[in-house]
Chain A
Amino acid sequence: MKADTTIQWEQKGKPPVNLRFFLKLFWTTFTLSMFTFGGGFVIISLMRKKMVVELGWINDEEMLDFVTIAQSSPGPIAVNGSLMVGYHLAGVAGALVATLGTVLPPMIILTLVSLGYKAVADNHIIAAAFSGMRAVVAAIVLQVSWALFKPLTHARKALPLLLFGVSFLALFVFKVNIMVVMISVILFSVVHSLVVIRGEEGR
């Protein structure tokens, strides 16, 4: 770790790591996760409010780094955010405690929901309600796709659009295994980055 960032942590009052702190960390992430409806971005912004503004554990710049990494790493954004914050505050133990706090509420709730779902899924009226909800979800997912697609056109570059098109067609028309698609894209991405960076260095 670099010296200047260490000083920043101390200025912000990084809390002492003890049992009390772990309980506080667990409780903070647990309640955040319990009462945050909506996607990963919502919980990340509430996490900032709690950790940066209220508790003062982290500064804004660090939080921004965490969010960027949480978004671009595999797995749920909320879990990644908690892991970053927890690790930053108290190493691996902190990361695990924060993750446990984040994961437990949805796990408990979904277990209860699964029990209920099993009991009511065959009911005629409930089935109709679920069909209506599925229609909403389809509408929302397509709207999100459109919102994510628009910025791709702004860059006026062919490659992102091509990647979008190829990935979509590979799944939708050619029924390629999704793991194959992902691994190909990752390989392409890495090779392309290496070539571009090498090209720029050569100039």
Chain B
Amino acid sequence: MIYLALFWQFFKIGLFSIGGGLATLPFLYKLAETHPHWITASQIGDMVAISESTPGPIGINMATYAGFQSAGYLGGVIATLGEVAPSVIIIIIIARFLANFDKNPTVKDAFWALRPSVVGLIAFAGLKLLGIVVYGQGVFNTQAALVFAILTVAVLTFKRVHPLIWISIGAILGMVFNVGG
């Protein structure tokens, strides 16, 4: 039953992606391995670009896309529900016990180790994306590597520029250098 599978897969992603949208990426790559007909590794890159250019959290955008892709409108709704359900359950529990939660060092710091670990996961996702960019078609793509190098320097130099601007520049460079090739 596809709807159940969509709900369950995105429930897991919603449950374990802690620390913002990019933390969902390694889970999506895992999903792309097990369910390539829902989303592929290179589509994940496209969807991140779209997510950065449209409102809304990456997790929800991915769920809607993958759900829609595999099972139409209802699929998109159900995958999104799966993505959000863990938040709803956990936050309502936390909010109920908020008064105690704050003052309790055990609860507050119990998950401290997740922070450095999640940084490792995001770095992994970044390299995975880079791998797809420069080595997507199985051969080294010089133009794409060049575009990546230019953009990395630019992104690191001009930190205050909005991602939307970078993505537009990337699209233009992609067309100029004919990266898709």
Contact = CB atoms under 8 A, between A and B. Distances in A.
The 10 closest A-B pairs by CB, nearest first: A132-B174, A106-B56, A75-B87, A136-B170, A167-B120, A76-B57, A189-B113, A128-B180, A168-B120, A133-B49
Q: For chain B, which range describes its interface: under 10, 10 to 19, 20 to 34, or 35 or more residues? A: 35 or more
A87 interface: yes
B117 A132 contact: no
Interface of B is mostly: helix
A107 B77 contact: yes
B140 interface: no
Interface of A: 1-2, 5, 33-41, 65, 69-80, 83-84, 87-88, 92, 95-96, 99, 103, 105-107, 109-111, 113-114, 117-118, 121, 124-125, 127-145, 148-149, 152, 159-161, 163-168, 171-172, 177-179, 181-182, 185-186, 188-190, 192-194, 197
Nearest to A127: B180
Contacts of B58: 76
B129 to A, nearest CB: 4
B94 A69 contact: yes
Contacts of A129: 171-172, 174-175, 180
A145 B147 contact: no
Contact of A99 (B17, B88, B122): B88
Contacts of B148: 135, 138-139
B169 A136 contact: yes
Interface of B: 12, 14-22, 25-27, 30, 42, 45-46, 48-50, 52-61, 64-65, 68-69, 73, 76-77, 80, 83-84, 86-88, 90-92, 94-95, 98-99, 101-102, 105-106, 109-127, 129-130, 132-133, 136, 144, 147-148, 151-152, 154-156, 162-164, 166-167, 169-175, 177-181
A110 B54 contact: yes
B95 A134 contact: no
Contacts of B122: 141, 144-145, 148
